[in-house]
Homo-oligomer: A and B are copies of this chain.
Amino acid sequence: MPIYNFSAGPAMLPPEVITQIQAELPSLANSGMSILEISHRTKLFENILNTAKADLRALLNISSDYEILFMQGGGTAQFAAVPLNLVTHSKKIAFIDSGYWSMRAIQEAQTLGFTTAILASSQKQNYTNIPKLDISTPLDDYAYLHLTTNSTIEGLSIHAIPNNLKIPLVADMSSNFLAEPYNINDFDLVYAGAQKNLGPAGVSVVIIKKRLLVSYSNITSVMNYHLTAQKNSMFNTPPVFAIYTVGLVLKWLKAQGGVAAIYEKNLKKAQLLYQFIDNSKFYTNNINKKDRSLTNITFTTGSSSLDEKVIQAATAAGCLNLKGHRSFGGLRASLYNAMPLEGVLALIDFLTTFEENNR
């Protein structure tokens, strides 16, 4: 029985990447050493890191105005690093709140003593839509505007990025990074934890406009963007294995035809599942149609006990990790880049049978 892993993260990786890691594990590039044993101060690793940066730059068409950083930890570390590096002159931070992870970014900034303002929120609509930013709002008092391109838990995405803001735009792109073709030039800083579309947990990518790389003297070194850029992400020992794996995933993505090609596949996968849900009288998704996420598709039978039964039966049928986030409940299928069309078809087959047996 084929196994399909619909986890929201850490999540499915391309099988070809797992196979390559396995083959190379005892001795990388005939070095006699495992990637787990290789010093970051070797030409071998330096080449791995620089190739990963170059491949990411090519995949997202990132201009030389931007620096690419690899930093330890995931989105939560960046929730702190962004304000620590970008807020000057006691400015406030503006947020668009489109779900749980937007709020977590806001809370972390508050924890560190920054003043936050939510300029748009769909909390009152239970995050069933992307809130509209009033573009006439004056933004002079804010250091930057932060948004979350994809709300992993609720299953909605900002597909159209606000522009001409006159202040830096910062995006947490963790859960649809490289899955949907955003234009990096629309942003001043993009960050993404690897454990969705990019690699294993333990590393994040930060793409930052070089003019924002200001030298600060009082930031924790491991969160200091300027220092990290200056030292090519190796001020201290980086997460070698995670960066190596990210490099392999990027090579795989290039072989798939890049972001435009994978986006076509992702659109097809998501359309199939949404269409199935919309045509069903058993399952529902109540996200505003034009704001629906391609990578995280939430749905429910309307009954928490029946949802639980779906999860159990799906597990037995090889469709794993359909449980919604503990703060949200219901069901969720995450269709990241590595999920093949066959997985979505298997899920739809399973859900169809389950509906027939439990209607």
Contacts and interface: CB of A to CB of B under 8 A. Distances in A.
Contacts of A32: 3, 5, 318, 320
A35 to B, nearest CB: 8
B12 A37 contact: yes
A102 B26 CA distance: 34
A48 interface: no
Interface in A186-201: 193, 195, 199-201
A242 interface: yes
Contact of A202 (B21, B80, B112, B241): B241
A186 to B, nearest CB: 27
A221 B202 CA distance: 15
Interface stretch (A68-76, A85-93, A279-287, A293-301): A68-76
Contacts of A9: 39, 237
B80 A221 contact: yes
A346 interface: no
A231 to B, nearest CB: 11
A245 interface: yes
Interface in A316-356: 318, 320-321, 326
A220 B40 contact: no
A212 interface: no
Nearest to A323: B41
A111 B217 contact: yes
A237 B203 CA distance: 11
A220 B34 contact: no
Interface string A110-144: 01110000000000000000000000000000000
Given A26-B22, A37-B12, A241-B201, A73 B72 contact: yes
A54 interface: no
A260 interface: no
A39 B26 contact: no
Interface in A1-28: 3, 5, 7-13, 18-19, 21-22, 25-26
Contacts of A108: 220-221
A74 B238 CA distance: 8
B202 A33 contact: no
A36 interface: yes
B72 A36 contact: no
Contacts of A220: 77, 80, 84, 108, 111-112, 220, 223
B239 A242 contact: yes
Contacts of A10: 36-40, 237, 240
A273 interface: no
A275 interface: no
Contacts of A79: 221
3 interchain residue pairs of minimum CB distance: A3-B32, A202-B239, A76-B236
